[in-house]
Structure 1
């Protein structure tokens, strides 16, 4: 049979229970110490009274006692026990004018065993407990003592009072502790309420705005609750930033798919149109095939660029090896001079060859894309200067530069400097440059103004 699962105690209940337990333990210890001290004090006083009683006796005398004895016991207080076991006599003194209460033979015989050692002893006779002492006289053994009832009653009264005060203290500690703990934990409940409100937000999709935050008064890290509040706010900031990046990434993917679809739709429509033309007019088949081949090559280049971007986005590693950057730049600039003689192509190389670590084919693609971009977006007669540095290289041109609203988005995919799309290209050149350089652990920066545009590529040096 499975036992029912107990409900876990709240933090308030546990703290109050600990406080009540501490109060109860402290009160119990104090009460016990007080009781023991009081009992010892009263016991000492009773012992002194008993010893004083024995000192009042003056030995034999002419005055007979209530039991017919001839011993003078002096002036003793009422309630004093007097016994002469050898004479089988004993009594308890009464108040003035009262003969007192005689002890029976059994009670007297019980007192005969009290040792004569000058000390006080506890004995119990038929009518109760007594503190007694004994002394030898010429009439035999004399036992004198006093009842412990007053002492026991005082201790019992003290214990009852302590128990009552302990109960009141525990109840008071429980009530006050509950109020204090709940008041002190109110900020923690406020922090939890903030977390619950955030948890109820729809975070699965869309642009998420998380305005909920823990108030500043609950984020003081000098306190424990402030540390929790500050940590929660930091986590919410991080979550909000991550959700914002996710939303922007989703938007970029949607835009990427839309732009890729548009770029592929144009050559596909051209191919379909020329194919239909060749079917109805066979004499144009040569021209149609040439156009189909051109558009197929354009689609192939686009798809290859998209595949490369996808591989780079997935984190697929590139080849790693020493690359002679000086030779790579020299070959790329020579190729540009052959392809485009309308512009002035300049190259500045240091005396010592520059070597970087990376994929030579992809780095060649980076340089080629940058030079192609400069050739496409500068007028004839412009000067393009490639400068090698120990950290990488720069490509500078004196063309019109990027539009101010376009420069911040120059490295985004399908971004075009020619909005009318009259110069061809899919707008992937600079985005490929950034992706390839980032995959090498480097960085790309753009500064542009009319007549002064510079793209700086920083690449890691080879390990020693």
Structure 2
């Protein structure tokens, strides 16, 4: 019914109760299953699968045996009936008078059924075979044969066969032969009991095997869980023992590799923090001292303008040194970044830009540059920072009027200066963080420039080495692979 131009909203039809209960039951089963441990779930799954297999196999065996038993039983029963009627001297009305077991096995009942449905037998009503419509149809000639299972009044089960028995004259009759199935049923019950016992034992063994397999198979997982909990609780990156070479063993090896990587990263961070704290202490102390002097001299006539200017210049230099040190630390903090977004770059162009910047920083030094094109795949900023550090290092050590020789040939960048060179005892450590040779203690720098060069080289699949130049001085060599030989996903 519409009122004021609006129609009443229809409420959603309520969900049927049986569907709601079924969904709630399913959710309860899922919650219960989810609360079980993996070991219990694996054992339960194995037991369930084996149990279903045993049950289906036992059922198939029992059904096959039942069909075979009854087929053989029926063939024997029909053969006996036909054999009795084919005996030349046998009259059906006389055959039914013979004692039980004369022509057939014990538990056999015989009768003649007339067309009107009346049975004839020498036995009493309680010992006559079951007679019904199928047997009457054979007596009437409407059917040539019938075979069925029937029960007597006392509940005993028989297999009943009926075949025509007339000898060419009326009235038509049917010969009925019935035999009890108690022996077959007893055999089938025994077989069912045996199969139940065997199935129960099989399911029990399957459950035991499932628990054993789950316990043994998931032992590495338990070890991984305990190791992870130990690391989270104590921070101790202790490895686990690995046995075998299956998938779980590979998982354990990967876990150990992860612990190794975490320990290496933590050690690098610890060293970086320790070295940074040590290196930052000196410029900060000097900066604080100069600021204290300026504060004490404020308002006094004892500090000349020249002294004040020198202090301010010293403060500016220390701030610049501190800024450079912080920038280098930020650059080195990216050491744990194994992948970055790169692109194809012309190393000659990057090196040319870096040379121009180095010339402005070292105006008293001559740069002899020869560059050949070389394509690399990588990070332009990191590569420019690395080659600029090489050039700055060479410019710093070269005397006024000296020459820095820069070459790029087939991915090999060489930077040679005309300074004092690198001492033999310093060569193994020249690319370490915060390492400074004895001669460079009083020179500006953070001791991180060459470490940044090595980091950039390794991240791009290359390398960097230090040696003596043929004409004296230091010779630093940076090698970078061509972009065609680098898998981009490796960067």
TM-score normalised by structure 1 residue count: 0.71
Q: What is the CA distance between 1:323 and its match in structure 2? A: 3.7
Which 5+ residue runs of structure 2 have no aligned equivalent?
Answer: 1-20, 34-39, 335-339, 485-491
Work out whether residues 464 and 476 of structure 2, in 8 Å CA contact, stay in contact via their aligned partners in 1: yes
Gap change, CA 1:437 and 1:242, over 3 Å in 2 = closer
CA distance in 2, matches of 1:56, 1:356: 108
What residue is the counterpart of 1:38 in the other structure?
69
Structure 2 residue 79 is matched with structure 1 residue 48: yes
Distance of 2:144 and 2:483 partners within structure 1: 104
Residues 105-127 of structure 1: CA deviation (Å, up to 9, x unaligned)? 99899866543576455596966
Question: Corresponding residue for 1:167?
Answer: 196
Q: Which residue of 2 aligns with 1:260?
A: 280
1:272 equivalent in structure 2:
292
Q: 1:244 aligns with which of 264, 271, 296?
A: 264
Match of 1:134 in 2: 164
Residue aligned with 1:386, SS: strand
Q: Does 1:210 align with 2:238?
A: yes
Measured in 2, the distance between the counterparts of 1:462 and 1:39 equals 81
Distance 1:245 1:284 in 2: 50
Q: In 1, distance between residues paired with 2:385 and 2:151?
A: 114
Matched with 1:223 is none
Equivalent positions of 1:281-300 (< 5 A) are: 282-300=301-319
Shift of 1:425: 2.3
Report the CA distance shift for 1:301/1:21 in structure 2 as closer, same or farther (over 3 A). Answer: same
- Whole-angstrom CA distance in 2 between matches of 1:170 and 1:436: 67
Please say if 1:393 is aligned against 2:421. Answer: no
What secondary structure does 1:399 align onto?
coil
Larger radius of gyration: 1
Post-superposition offset of 1:252: 0.6
Partner of residue 112 from structure 2, selected from 66, 69, 83: 83
Question: Relative to 1, partners in 2 of residues 1:159 and 1:327: Cα closer, same or farther, differing over 3 Å?
Answer: closer
1:179-210 per-position Cα deviation (integer Å, ceiling 9, x unaligned): 3333333432211221122122234886x432
The separation in 2 between residues aligned to 1:105 and 1:20, in whole angstroms, is 46
Note closer, same or farther for the CA distance 1:36–1:329 as it changes in structure 2 (3 Å cut): closer
Q: 1:354 to 1:433 in 2, by over 3 A?
A: farther
Q: Structure 2 CA distance, aligned partners of 1:266 and 1:27?
A: 91
418 and 294 in structure 1: CA distance in 2 versus 1, 3 angstrom threshold: farther
- Equivalent position of 2:7 in the other structure: none
Query: 1:25 is paired with a residue of what secondary structure?
Result: helix
- 1:369 corresponds, among 378, 381, 392, to 392
Change (3 A) 1:399 1:126: closer
CA distance in 2, matches of 1:66, 1:440: 106
Q: Counterparts of 2:396 and 2:454 in 1: how far apart (Å)?
A: 16
Cα deviation, 1:254-286, whole Å, max 9, x if unaligned, reads: 431342132221233134236536766x34423
Indicate if the aligned counterparts of 2:111 and 2:128 stay in contact, CA closer than 8 A: no
With over 3 angstroms needed to count, the CA separation of the structure-2 counterparts of 1:202 and 1:230, relative to structure 1, is closer
Give a deviation string over 1:322-349, Cα, whole Å, max 9, x none. Answer: 748569759967986847xxxxx7x654
1:21 aligns with 2:52: yes
Aligned to 1:455: 476
Q: 1:381-405: per-residue Cα shift (whole Å, max 9, x none)?
A: 9x8752412333322557352453x
Aligned length: 423
Residues 216-256 of structure 1: CA deviation (Å, up to 9, x unaligned): x3xx2xxxxx1122123113312331342134214313431
User: What secondary structure does 1:5 align onto?
Assistant: helix
Q: TM-score under structure 2 normalisation? A: 0.68
> What SS does the aligned partner of 2:194 have?
helix
Distance 2:110 2:318 in 1: 127
CA contact (8 A) 1:12 1:182 kept: yes
Deviation track 1:82-103 (CA, whole Å, cap 9, x = no partner) reads: 43748977224xxxxxxx5478
Q: 1:21: how far off?
A: 0.7
Cα distance in structure 2, aligned partners of 1:286 and 1:200: 65
| 1:191 corresponds to 2:220 | yes
Q: SS of the residue aligned with 1:291?
A: helix
RMSD: 4.9
Query: How much has 1:374 moved relative to structure 2?
Result: 2.5
Cα distance in 2 between the residues matched to 1:317 and 1:39 = 78
- Displacement of 1:17 in angstroms is 1.0
Q: Distance in 2 between matches of 1:168 and 1:49?
A: 37
Residues 303 and 234 of structure 1: CA distance in aligned 2, closer, same or farther (over 3 Å):
same
1:305 aligns with 2:324: yes
Cα distance change of structure 1 residues 300 and 442 upon mapping to structure 2, 3 Å threshold: farther
Gaps of at least 5 residues in structure 1 are 93-99, 221-225, 340-344
1:376-415 matches, cutoff 5 A: 386-390=405-409, 391=411, 392-396=413-417, 399=420, 401-402=422-423, 404=425, 406-415=426-435
